[in-house]
Amino acid sequence: MRLLPDLALGLGVSIVAVLLLVLLTVLVPVGLLSAALRRQRWSVLVSWLGLLAMGFFSSLLVCTLARDLVLLALRLAGALAPGLVRGSAVAVPLVALGVSMLGFVNARRLARVKRVEVPIANLPAPLHGYAIAQVSDIHVGPTIKRSYLNAIVNRVNRLEADAIAITGDLVDGSVHRLSLHTEPLARLAAPDGVFFVTGNHEYYSGAEEWIAEVRRLGVTVLLNQHVIRRRASATVMIAGVADYGAHHFHPAHKSDPQAAAGRAAADVKVLLAHQPRSAPEAAAAGFHLQLSGHTHGGQFFPWNLFVPLQQPFVAGLHRVRDMWVYISRGTGYWGPPKRFGAPSEITLVRLVPA
């Protein structure tokens, strides 16, 4: 409604454009609900179309709003050139399409390895360089399938980390629909183990069933629990909590960093917690490092501006009292196959002496 009158396309072309916009608008909610379709082939196709439309409309909205603000400022200043109204109306959908195409490429390519060094005070020599490979927010589901996850597994295994951490939001869908596509997880291997904690999307998808399935694949699920691993005379605790909001779905899964740590002693304590919001309690429980995800780094503009309304951090390494917290931008994506300004990552976290 804001762009078409200024494009001056003529009645016939405008009618076609309106019908196309209506079709794309309808596809967005239908695509989100497509998992309910009985025929999975149609479900996948409708999901792709709907989620691509969602990503395009997001950029179209931002560009249209930006155009209106610029035109308003120029009009108030008396500097609005005659051709600028139509020219900008043409530019907006082209820019939105370009951003969506670039975002699609960024989302669908294999996540790059991001190496992060975390300085730990009084780190015992046997733990110098201790490495944890972190993947998060893969969201196997409507548009992320077996081949996508298989490539992630191959890259993670090549890192030869001491341990592997999956910090939640592995799936978007039921075990029945997605178990074939999560099978590559069984190939993940590290000397000290492969660990998983639940994210909020597991609770939308049948958390109990997914916990059983992940265990069947040989991955250790940490629900307010920990394991101790030894390197010579030094020990490292790897603990995990259920998602910050898990108790709304399963009261027994209430996230509890203190319970996860227990009374056990270790030279270094690492907590896996899907949401950064767990950090204050984790710091109080004596952890040295928390690994989280959930935010996707905003995934694409302008959603990165809204993350701070819910979470203390958007991405990267931060300090909460005496504890470090690292927030991954995610290894996959949710919803639209689109990443812009927030690249996906496989994180290799190394402990180094402070």
153: nearest Cα among 168, 166, 167, 172: 166
> Which residues are CB-contacts of 225 (< 8 A; sequence separation ≥ 6)?
239, 240, 260
DSSP string, 247-307: GGT-GGG---HHHHHTT---SEEEEE-SSGGGHHHHHHTT-SEEEE-SSGGGSBTTGGGTG
Asked if 163 and 195 count as a contact pair (C-beta separation under 8 A), the reply is: yes
Task: Kindly give the confidence (pLDDT) of every residue in the chain, 354 residues in length, as a single tens digit, with 9 standing for 90 and above.
Answer: 889 888 888 889 889 989 988 988 888 888 777 766 655 667 788 889 999 999 999 999 999 999 999 999 999 998 888 889 999 999 999 999 999 999 999 999 999 999 999 999 999 999 999 999 999 999 999 999 999 999 999 999 999 999 999 999 999 999 999 999 999 999 999 999 999 999 999 999 999 999 999 999 999 999 999 999 999 999 999 999 999 999 999 999 999 999 999 999 999 999 999 999 999 999 999 999 999 999 999 999 888 889 999 999 999 999 999 999 999 999 999 999 999 999 999 999 999 999
Q: C-alpha distances in angstroms, 266 versus 234, 263, 288?
A: 8, 10, 10
pLDDT for position 153: 98
Sorted by where each starts, the structural domains of the chain and their CATH numbers stand as 4-108 (no CATH), 112-353 (3.60.21.10)
